[in-house]
Structure 1
Amino acid sequence: METVNKHQAEAWNGYEGTHWADHHARYDAVNSGFNPHLLDAAAIGPRDRVLDIGCGNGQVTRLAAERAHLGAATGVDLSAPMLARARNLAEREGVGNVRFEQGDAQLYPFPDGGFDVAISRFGVMFFADPVAAFGNVRRALAADGGRAAFVVMAPPEESDLGTVLAALPALPRPAIGHDGPLSLADPGRAAAILGDAGFRAVTNRRVEAEQVWGRDAADAAAFLAGWGPIRYNYGESDELVATLTGALRPFERDGAVRLRTTAGLITARR
């Protein structure tokens, strides 16, 4: 696999990717509330060819394939553990018009104009060179009607997760770098990047969804403590889990821990 994003490739083929693959159902419970926003914005038709960037365990790819039931969906990701899980789940669910490829979207040799729509649920924030990466994705879209829809992280302070994380010690340097999870959180920067990549008619609006993190505060805290960014920045300790448990307890409702979360929904035309 050719990649320029060495750090991300190591993370998603190491602990981070394994944790997501092993807990795929839990991560989908966290993020699937954004699926309707993303798929409706993509306006996937029955014969469309769909490209899912940073597809992970493939839930969105499979849902896109169901909408494009006379077309097909292709998921691309850096993570071998998550792609193995995606293939297994697609086979188990009987989704036949889907395939998954390992690769760096910044360099991947997509066929020119080979897709009608590109989508991503929280998978396009980590490019080493975002302009080059989005330019490569744009090249893969059909000149006639090619379009894109991406869900990206918004600043944590806009969501309940920010309230939870505020209970933890402040980090010396926020993880917002040019290829970090918040790299597209600023709508102006996101629009400039996609514009420089050649996209037009770029829009960006806030959407909300409920994230389910666990059955109760203790269960959610144990899971959240294992999430890559938390584990990387704070290590592993009973004290960490206890702090998160206390911070999550106010969000226990209807048999689960439910956090209101805001994200950016970006759309663009080829």
Structure 2
Amino acid sequence: MGAIVNTHQAEAWNGYEGGHWADHHDRYDAVNSGFNDPLLRAAAIGPADRVLDVGCGTGQVSRLAARLAPHGHVTGLDLSAPMLRRARELAAGKGLANVSFVQGDAQVHPLPADGFDVAVSRFAVMFFADPVAAFANIRRALRPDGRVAFLSLQAMERNEVGAVFGAMLRQLPGGGPAGGRAAGAGPESLADPARIHEVLGAAGFTDVVTVGVEAPQVWGRDTADAAAFLGAWGPVRHLLGGVAEPVAARAHAALAEALRPFERPGGVRLRGAGWLITATRP
């Protein structure tokens, strides 16, 4: 792996967080896969395209892109060694020979100049420590007139899981950590379309368009299963690990109770909302 400047995210994704995603890749894909179709439609991947999947994780989008580009190639780029190990295993299990995975920091990784026709990303671009630098690096890796299709998260109040987290946070001292859209890396860092246009424009992209998209997110088989899964998710585990056990128990109970109204036959489904971002390298 080359240079890393996004050290906080590298630590998380090569520690517990990345291991949990690698071990439960099918569950995280169940949460996010409803967004695959709009993302790939916007990417318009051709049969011979060279595709860069930024923050590819365990590689579901990479594998889908590889099937759309049977005469091209897909490169998945991610910080997380455990997630990339799982991505390679899953791609090999599908017999996909036109996809490869590279560990690296999108902000500084030496991507080949003009090496890709299209870049995609499913909910990874919010975690860049320096988003302008990262998007500029991606732009340089695209051929002239190359295109991007990225997904970022809308504000938590637009996502039903936000209300679930809110119920949990209200049980913590002071209502939990301060929320809102952070200026730096984080789930809501690109929740404002004006900020998206500002960042991509500064990185040298043109024709920037943001379109709201929604999809159901399956968090578990039933309320108990979904609550256990969310309770083991890295940020929640870290948050509840820092408070007394009775407080953590009350917070977990509130989490489960908030999930209960979303239980339906076949699973616990919450509405997710994201921004589908498209742009062009001039």
Q: Is residue 210 of structure 2 the alignment partner of residue 204 of structure 1? A: yes
Letter of the 1:224 partner, please give it.
Answer: L
Aligned counterpart, 1:154: 154
Aligned counterpart, 2:254: 243
**After the TM superposition, which of the residue ranges 200-209 and 226-235 deviates more from structure 2?**
226-235
Cα RMSD for the two superposed structures: 1.1
Q: Is residue 199 of structure 2 the alignment partner of residue 193 of structure 1? A: yes
TM-score (norm 1): 0.97
Deviations 1:98-156 (A, max 9, x none): 0000000001111100000000001111111111110000000011x300000111111
Contact conserved, 1:146 with 1:269, CA < 8 A, in 2?
A: yes
Aligned counterpart, 2:177: 172
Q: Is residue 225 of structure 2 the alignment partner of residue 225 of structure 1? A: no
Letter of the 1:216 partner, please give it.
Answer: D
Contact conserved, 1:90 with 1:98, CA < 8 A, in 2?
A: yes
Q: CA deviation at 1:175?
A: 6.2
Deviations 1:22-77 (A, max 9, x none): 10000000000000010000010101000000000000001001001110100000
Letter of the 2:66 partner, please give it.
Answer: A
TM-score (norm 2): 0.93
Contact conserved, 2:181 with 2:191, CA < 8 A, in 1?
A: no
- Percent identical pairs in the alignment equals 62
The 1:176–1:232 alpha-carbon spacing in structure 2 relative to 1, beyond 3 Å, is farther
Aligned counterpart, 1:75: 76
Structure 2 segments unaligned to the other structure (5+ residues) = none
SS in 2 for 1:116: strand
Contact conserved, 1:251 with 1:259, CA < 8 A, in 2?
A: yes
Letter of the 1:147 partner, please give it.
Answer: R
The 1:8–1:34 alpha-carbon spacing in structure 2 relative to 1, beyond 3 Å, is same
Q: How does 1:81-120 map to 2 (within 5 A)?
A: 81-120=82-121
Which contiguous aligned blocks of 4+ residues in structure 1 show a shift greater than 6 angstroms?
A: none
Cα distance between partner residues in 1 of 2:92 and 2:177: 44
Structure 1 segments unaligned to the other structure (5+ residues) = none
**After the TM superposition, which of the residue ranges 170-179 and 63-72 deviates more from structure 2?**
170-179
SS in 2 for 1:95: coil
Q: CA deviation at 1:160?
A: 1.2
